[in-house]
Chains A and B, each alone.
Chain A
Amino acid sequence: MTEILLFAIPALLIILGALIVVFAKNPVHNAMGLVLTLTSLAIVYITLNATFVAMVQMLVYAGAVMTLFLFVIMMIGVDKPEQSRKEIKGQTFLISGTLILLVSIIVYIGLENGLNWDLLFPESENAIEGTPSLLASSMFTSWVFPFEVISILLIVATTSALALAYEFKKSESND
């Protein structure tokens, strides 16, 4: 019973937060809904034995990324209503069609098979605990090349953000 509650309560909070992200009008409320979703996801990660990932989720997503989002929301103003001059032809129709399709697929799987996704592999007996030492022993041996590539990606992202935000003196003097 405890297991079910540990799944159900965070799951409800995740879906509630996601709906707030999509439907709230005020951007600050959207950001708070996203914080709710990310925090509840961290709880779900702990129940899935991924404790270190849960901690990183709290630090990086709910901490750093959300601070960045809130910073930009405050910078560009929260009081502006959503402006839309033109709609893409049949946009509402396409959106509701896509939504109905996605929901009906989930409901079909839920009702037809009793929430059974027919997974290819049986559940493993080998229980793992996502501790930092276990993660590091894999990341710095077999995953070391992707690790280096991801560091290059971060440098490129930082440089490009700098290039986008920085006003170069040269172009100013030309104007």
Chain B
Amino acid sequence: MSLRKVNPMIEVTSDWYLTLSAILFSIGFLGMMFRKNALIMFMCIELMLNAVNLTFITASKHLGLIDGQIAVFFVLVVAAAEVVVGLAIIVSIFKKQESASVDMLSSSKG
């Protein structure tokens, strides 16, 4: 409710960024559950990773430590590696069954 009051003294605090990050993570999670195209599920994973990155950078500013921004670099590298391997898997699956829908991937059952 405090957002509604138009107050020139209002300050952008870390809480706002954390709320934005929570909303972004929720949207990414929703998409992960909702969509069946493997590519779009990967994009939703990217959304969730970016929400976590935003949290790290907010914490870095809040605590006055640089380590949060370094953690973001590691998340970035892991995300890049994950995308490379994931897209290679999608392409090799697509060669076999002409579809990127996860519903038809019963062949990878253990």
Q: How far is the CA of A113 from the CA of B90 in the complex (A)?
A: 44
Residues of A bordering B, CB below 8 Å: 1, 3-4, 6-7, 11, 14-15, 18-19, 21-22, 27, 30-31, 34, 37-38, 41, 44-45, 48-50, 52-53, 56-57, 60-61, 64-65, 68-69, 72-73, 75-76, 80, 82-86, 94-95, 98-99, 102-103, 105-106, 109-111, 114-117, 119, 121, 123-128, 130, 134-135, 138-139, 143, 146, 150, 153-154, 156-158, 160-161, 164-165
Q: How far is the CA of A14 from the CA of B31 in the complex (A)?
A: 15
User: B14 and A50: CB pair below 8 A?
Assistant: no
User: A98 and B30: CB pair below 8 A?
Assistant: yes
Count contacts between A and B, CB distance < 8 Å: 229
User: B70 and A135: CB pair below 8 A?
Assistant: yes
Q: How far is the CA of A85 from the CA of B83 in the complex (A)?
A: 26
User: B12 and A4: CB pair below 8 A?
Assistant: yes
- Nearest residue (CB) in A for B81 is A157
Q: Which of A117, A153, A161 contacts B15 (CB 8 A)?
A: A117
> How many interface residues does chain B have, given as a range?
35 or more
User: B90 and A124: CB pair below 8 A?
Assistant: no
Report the minimum CB–CB distance from B75 to chain A (whole Å).
Answer: 10
Scoring B residues 10 to 46 as 1 if CB is less than 8 Å from chain A, else 0, what string do you get? 1111111111101110111111011111011011101
Q: How far is the CA of A53 from the CA of B82 in the complex (A)?
A: 19
Q: How far is the CA of A154 from the CA of B35 in the complex (A)?
A: 28
